[in-house]
Amino acid sequence: MQRFPLLLAAGIPLKAESPWEDHLASPLPWGNWITNSIFVSALVVVFVVWFSRSATRQMEVVPGTRQNLFESIVESLYSTIEGIVGRRMVALSFPLLASIFFFILFSNWFSLLPGVGSIGWGERIAFITVPNVQVPLLRPATADLNLTLGIATFFMAFWLIVTIRELGFIGFLEHLFGVKGGFKGLFALLLLPIFFFVGVIEVISIIFRPVSLSLRLFGNIFAGENLLSYMITLGKQLGLPEAISYLMSILVPIPFYFLELLIGFLQAVVFTLLCAVYIQLSTSHDDDSH
């Protein structure tokens, strides 16, 4: 099947594909591994770095609009994370958690730009007209399960390193399988099998954390993209006249765009706060006041 460029179509495929394979000549001899979602994530990283650098390049006592906005976001995020992980761990965990928050937030919002997920390749049925996008040129980064799973897995590796660094390997095992509640002696020995079983369940839950984190983010963003694509073509799906379908493609998606802006923000907040909670649960001490 021969594929041709298109201008607009609806529907987002589940699989992230390379825009170079069978469509464009790759600028690099090994560039076929660069999928459309990786390309968008690189654009998001460049934007985040540019925004943070431009806001903090010339720090002023009386901040300008951009510096004031950036400092307000960072300060609010820092105080929120500190309230969860505590003063002891915030300095170590904040750089990664803030980076995850900004990357997910702008990735979610980048997916709402015109052309993201709706421009690409498909089967041509008329002049510059196709029924569906088969290979989008720009795929929403967080609508790719590979990327969300990669973020979650990287965080869990960081979580494991931080936890062992804070508790020690033996302390980490005691945290998982040890008897809690201050029981000692024979009573603690009797409770040991129960707490060991609870520790096994905790290990299983830790293994599934990357899956739950990644699927929650991926599912919401992927579903939102397909919802918007469907609303844009709702008039055609109902078989309405072309003029009415064109008007509906402009007006109907507007409330859903605002909804997706809110969902994109909430998903970035939820992902970041859950990561902070995981750190707090494994690194909290009863003697923090000392």
Nearest of 170, 225, 172 to residue 37 by alpha carbon: 225
Digit-coded pLDDT (tens) for 34-51: 777 888 888 899 998 998
Residue, of 233 and 102, whose pLDDT is higher:
102
Query: Which DSSP letter does residue 180 get?
Result: P
Give domain status of residue 118, yes or no. Answer: yes
Give domain status of residue 290, yes or no. Answer: no
List strand residue ranges (DSSP E) for the chain, in order.
4-5, 120-122, 135-136
How many separate domains does the chain show?
1
pTM of the model: 0.80
Give domain status of residue 129, yes or no. Answer: yes
39 is in which domain, residue-wise? 4-283
- Residue positions counted in the chain: 290
Digit-coded pLDDT (tens) for 177-227: 776 766 666 666 777 677 788 778 888 988 999 999 999 998 888 888 778
Distance CA(47)–CA(109), nearest Å, equals 12
Distance CA(135)–CA(22), nearest Å, equals 10
Give domain status of residue 177, yes or no. Answer: yes
Give domain status of residue 288, yes or no. Answer: no
Digit-coded pLDDT (tens) for 132-154: 656 667 778 888 888 899 999 99
Nearest of 145, 121, 117 to residue 134 by alpha carbon: 121
Give domain status of residue 289, yes or no. Answer: no
